[in-house]
Amino acid sequence: MVSGLGEQLVIVSNRGPVTFSRTESGEREYSRGAGGLVTALNAVSRRQEGAVWIASAMSEEDAAVSRENVPYEVEDLRVTFVEHDPDAYSLMYNHIANPLLWFVQHGLYDLPYSPGLGDDTRRAWEEGYVTVNRNFAEATAGAIAGAESPVILLHDYQLYMVPRFLRERLVSDAFISLFVHIPWPEPDYWRVLPRYIREGVLESLLETSIVAFHTRRYARNFIETATAFLGAEGDAERGIIRHEDREIWVKAYPISIDPGEFKELASDEAVEAEEEALRNLPGQLVVRVDRMDLSKNTVRGFEAYGRMLERHPEMREQVTFLARVQPSREDVREYARYAEVVQETVDRVNKDHGTDAWKPIELAMEDNFPRSIAAYKNYDVLLVNAVRDGMNLVAKEAAVVNDRGGVLVLSENAGAYEELGEHALTVNPFDLDEQAEAIYRALTMPAGERARKARALKQAVEANTIEHWVQAQIRDIASYREGGGEKQSAAPDAL
């Protein structure tokens, strides 16, 4: 057993590491999920024998597994599913988590017009979000029944109310943390939400032992929010909140990747096959890889690139912008509109600057991992210009496999800025000309400087891998427990 983790380790996240289905012949089969969070939590889960991962049932077969009432063993994982009423789940997911919390936490609302909150919001909160969170709390309480000193690691903005419902069910000395993987804004933006949501979320989060974020800025904002709305006593310097006789640590653990995994992927045959296609694209390669999301700043990225071509006509036919954008939430009005504007912007730039032999922007609206890795390996410039982004793992994944000495152009509002900013060309995501100039500078940077920057970037990622991320949390769990949440000397470097 790893020091610091209790007798029973439980990881809880809305989306789990596997999804089950039935083959036509009726056999149960599963597919493992990809994505940064799942990879990261796999790394945690592997640390502890007998660890259980609890997630929402996403398929019929997941639900069948959940009804078997024992954790299902998959390779090195033990998985339990929570079955939700579909209406409740939809209210949680489509009415609270993804529109409301996502928009508030990324600052995406056009506030003079939206949101238009009301009784529907309250219903979605009570019958959806709260219900789903109660289900999670119940499943978690079941998983740790009888265990001494269990450790419960809750993940992300779908589960804010779980700590509160867990504490109602537990008399044990459970350690509970909740990791917020998206930005945490300053107090005023939380005022957009109804009081029962913002205070409900904060009161629940103050039932944890540790609340964790990717950056010091989010951690600081959380402390200020708890102080402003609950009158909690916050010490931003030391990353501690005191509230109703409890001590909550507020910490920043910048999430990362497993560089070895990506290097291995990079030499995969499928990836190498995709690289052939890339070599046919004219000129240097500007790359972006992200979901189609209002937070990613895809539109301004293309506008900035268009301005670059306008100011530096000598760059025409000397560069191609390969944009790999995965379709996302297409049934949401704001997302559908954003996708339209993205397409219009691409068409305009291609029309204004393209030639018979050259298309300035190649937009691929698809989710194809080998192709994305191929793009990572071959970028000359990687554009990560998010309006706001919790961390942005693309910047890290691409940096470790790139072998063209590529330059990162990085938004000041991406979480990765705190770690990688000094090795990137950083930009204000709202400033089109600054982004245009950064792209130009990256494309025309002398080889020596490019190489130095690329090396430093890679080293920065390798200096804080997913393993460090896991270790730092395990260390803090142990420190917190040793001091019963009281030993304050363990926390001074929290922020």
Whose tokens are 């930009």? That residue is: 427
| Structure tokens given for 438 | 């950064």
Return all residues near 138 (Cβ < 8 A) that are at least 6 apart.
165, 169
| Structure tokens given for 394 | 């693309």
Q: How far apart, in whole angstroms, are the C-alpha atoms of residue 473 and residue 200?
A: 26
Q: Compare residues 188 and 245 and give the one whose CB is closer to a second copy.
A: 188
Please say whether the dihedral angle defined by the alpha carbons of residues 374, 434, 291 and 178, taken in this order, is positive or negative. Answer: positive
Pick from 420, 129, 105: which is nearest to 294 by CA? 105
Strand-strand pairing, 77-82 and 72-74: antiparallel
Among residues 27, 73, 110, 493, which is the contact residue for a second copy, using CB under 8 A? Answer: 110
Q: How many CB atoms lie within 10 A of CB 84?
A: 23
Q: Compare residues 83 and 412 and give the one whose CB is closer to a second copy.
A: 412
Q: What is the smallest separation between the CB atom of 190 and a second copy, expressed in angstroms? A: 11
Q: What is the smallest separation between the CB atom of 241 and a second copy, expressed in angstroms? A: 17
Q: Compare residues 310 and 347 and give the one whose CB is closer to a second copy.
A: 310
Among residues 199, 418, 434, 467, which is the contact residue for a second copy, using CB under 8 A? Answer: 434
Q: Compare residues 109 and 369 and give the one whose CB is closer to a second copy.
A: 109
Does residue number 341 form part of the binding site for a second copy (CB under 8 A)? yes
Q: Compare residues 189 and 440 and give the one whose CB is closer to a second copy.
A: 189
Does residue number 282 form part of the binding site for a second copy (CB under 8 A)? no
Does residue number 430 form part of the binding site for a second copy (CB under 8 A)? yes
Q: What is the smallest separation between the CB atom of 414 and a second copy, expressed in angstroms? A: 12
Question: Which 220-239 residues touch a second copy, going by CB under 8 A?
Answer: 221
| Structure tokens given for 144 | 């740790």
Q: Compare residues 195 and 263 and give the one whose CB is closer to a second copy.
A: 195
Among residues 431, 441, 471, 490, which is the contact residue for a second copy, using CB under 8 A? Answer: 431
Q: What is the smallest separation between the CB atom of 225 and a second copy, expressed in angstroms? A: 11
Q: Which stretch binds a second copy (CB under 8 A): 76-84, 103-111, 167-175, 262-270?
A: 103-111
Does residue number 412 form part of the binding site for a second copy (CB under 8 A)? yes
Distance of CA 155 to the CA centre of its chain: 11
Pick from 76, 404, 395: which is nearest to 257 by CA? 395
Does residue number 330 form part of the binding site for a second copy (CB under 8 A)? no
Does residue number 313 form part of the binding site for a second copy (CB under 8 A)? no
H/E stretch holding 90: helix 86-90
Does residue number 115 form part of the binding site for a second copy (CB under 8 A)? yes
Does residue number 387 form part of the binding site for a second copy (CB under 8 A)? yes
Number of residues that bind a second copy (CB under 8 A): 42
Residues in contact with a second copy, shown as a per-residue x/- string from 146 to 185 under the rule CB under 8 A: ---------------------------------------x
Does residue number 271 form part of the binding site for a second copy (CB under 8 A)? no
Does residue number 1 form part of the binding site for a second copy (CB under 8 A)? no
Does residue number 297 form part of the binding site for a second copy (CB under 8 A)? yes
Asked if residues 384 and 331 have their Cβ atoms less than 8 Å apart, the reply is no
Angle CA 144–149–152, to nearest 5: 55
| Structure tokens given for 232 | 């909690």
DSSP state of 179: E
Return all residues near 451 (Cβ < 8 A) that are at least 6 apart.
405
Does residue number 354 form part of the binding site for a second copy (CB under 8 A)? no
Asked if residues 54 and 80 have their Cβ atoms less than 8 Å apart, the reply is yes
Does residue number 186 form part of the binding site for a second copy (CB under 8 A)? yes
Q: How far apart, in whole angstroms, are the C-alpha atoms of residue 132 and residue 425?
A: 42
Q: How many CB atoms lie within 10 A of CB 105?
A: 21
DSSP state of 248: E
Residues making contact with a second copy (CB under 8 A): 107-113, 115-119, 121, 185-189, 191-192, 194-195, 221, 294-295, 297, 299-300, 303, 307, 338, 341, 387, 412-413, 428, 430-434, 436
